[in-house]
Structure 1
Amino acid sequence: MSAATRAPRTCSIDAGSVLEQSDGSASGIGGTGHNAAIPSSGIGGTGHENTIPPGGIGGTEHNVAVQSSGIGGTGHDTAIPPGGIGGTGHENSIPPGGIGGTGHEPGVPPGGIGGTGIVAAGTLMNVSGIITAEDYTKKQLQLAKGDQICPGDTIATNQDAKVKIQFADGAILHLLKNTEISLVDYNYSPQQPELNRSLIILAKGDIRSISGKMSKLNPQKYSFKTPSSTIRVIGTDFLVTHLLQQEGALDAGTYTKVISGEVSVQSTTSTIRLRAGESSHVMLNGTQSIITSGGGTCSVH
């Protein structure tokens, strides 16, 4: 079935994160589901009953006496939902969340990758040409307008393609031709902004980002990376291009231009703060320079 004729992709289905069990609870990435006698492990852990919390990435099998550990959210009590990479072990009464977990109330397992199903990061609004995605299982599919994108996706455009993605926090990301990004991590919670985070890696090509609510609510956890730089954002509209090799008069590396607001561009050698109308270039070796300056500041590590 082609992307144009099939039902729109949803993260909880296409990402394969939900595995049916006898009690209806969900399994995580790599998880196999479990019952009281057969606890399972795997990336993101498994679904759980009241007495069987899920594990995280790298988690081990567990039973009542042996709790799991690993990446996949932190332990929590009623007031502190889980979330994020870098989880810890847990006690019987403190189940951790999965990557991007959103926390849960009693009786409701945590959301996010490895929780009750992957929460969609965004939706494709406009699609021109061939847009493909590879999910965390390495499954490849062609995307169409209305499809959801999920944490763990790698999205690529061909030489005649472009796409507009609207994220859950209202952010807009335009991908132009011959571009590849990876949505490494994404979680948006307007009720708990301290859990908000977004990390997108631009492997090659051109993007335009118009920030949403997350960049204002939790800017320190909102960033873009290329092979040569990290770009942190404070409520802005900006362009990023990463060239794998020289193209005409343009050297290889990362080019950043700010249309409005400001960004911080960090490389292995320096950090440059760019404001509206300013731009910089980071070479593949990390050397960074200001192309257009109107008051940008540079600090050397």
Structure 2
Amino acid sequence: MVWKMGCAFAALLLAAPAWAGSVGTIKTVTGEAHVQRGGQNMAAAPGLALEQSDAIVTGNDGSVGLTLRDNTTLSVGPRTSMGLDEFDFEPAAGNMKLVTSVARGTMMMTSGTIAKLAPEKVSVVTKSGTIGVRGTRFVASVEE
């Protein structure tokens, strides 16, 4: 019995680092795509943990699918620059916020737990305005 519980606990510990200190994870990548973090570029790859203030940048043939800790999903299309500006997901403490920005290109969002529990705390910023998210799926397209 103790050994089985120990194995289950070990499995939980091994699974935890995927979210530990991150806001989400890249799930899919096609074509040219990278993540800008602290002035550095790194290749976008499935399993890469994302941090607050990361930017996802795709090339002419690039696309990236990612899932945030609150189960928000984002699909980033070709020739897009999208930032993960603010993310806070501690529902037990009442702390929830999601702010993304799209400088150019297209992004589709399917809202997760933050938008369901506190829709006023979710927004997408573009150069011509801000989209308030109220628990839905939508596409944002920003011309260069």
Answer yes or no: same fold by TM over 0.5: yes
**Contact 2:89–2:97, Cα closer than 8 Å, also in 1:** yes
TM-score (norm 2): 0.83
CA drift at 1:184: 1.0
Q: Which whole-Å CA distance do the structure 1 matches of 2:21 and 2:100 have between them?
A: 16
Q: CA-to-partner distance for each residue in 1:211-261, whole Å, 9 max, x for gaps?
A: 0010011111110000111001111010110002xxxxxxxxxxxxxxxxx
Alignment-derived partner of residue 43 in structure 2: 142
TM-score (norm 1): 0.41
* Alignment coverage as a number of residue pairs: 128
Alignment-derived partner of residue 71 in structure 2: 170
Q: Deviating runs (4+, > 4 A) in structure 1?
A: none
Q: Which whole-Å CA distance do the structure 2 matches of 1:11 and 1:167 have between them?
A: 11
Instruction: Name the Cα RMSD after superposition.
Output: 1.7
**Contact 2:123–2:133, Cα closer than 8 Å, also in 1:** yes
- Give the 3-state SS of the residue equivalent to 2:106 in structure 1: strand
Q: Which entry has the higher C-alpha Rg, 1 or 2?
A: 1
CA drift at 1:191: 1.4
Alignment-derived partner of residue 190 in structure 1: 91
Alignment-derived partner of residue 226 in structure 1: 126
**Contact 1:11–1:150, Cα closer than 8 Å, also in 2:** no
1:125 equivalent in alignment to 2:27: yes
Structure 1 residues 148 and 232: CA distance shift in structure 2, 3 A:
same
Q: Which whole-Å CA distance do the structure 1 matches of 2:18 and 2:39 have between them?
A: 14
1:202 equivalent in alignment to 2:102: yes
Q: Which whole-Å CA distance do the structure 2 matches of 1:134 and 1:11 have between them?
A: 19
Identity percentage over the alignment? 26
Alignment-derived partner of residue 13 in structure 2: none
Q: Structure 1: 5+ residue runs without aligned partners?
A: 1-9, 13-117, 245-301
Which one-letter code corresponds to 1:240 in the other structure? A
- Give the 3-state SS of the residue equivalent to 1:183 in structure 2: strand
**Contact 2:102–2:124, Cα closer than 8 Å, also in 1:** yes
Of Structure 1 and Structure 2, which has the larger fraction of its residues in helix? 2
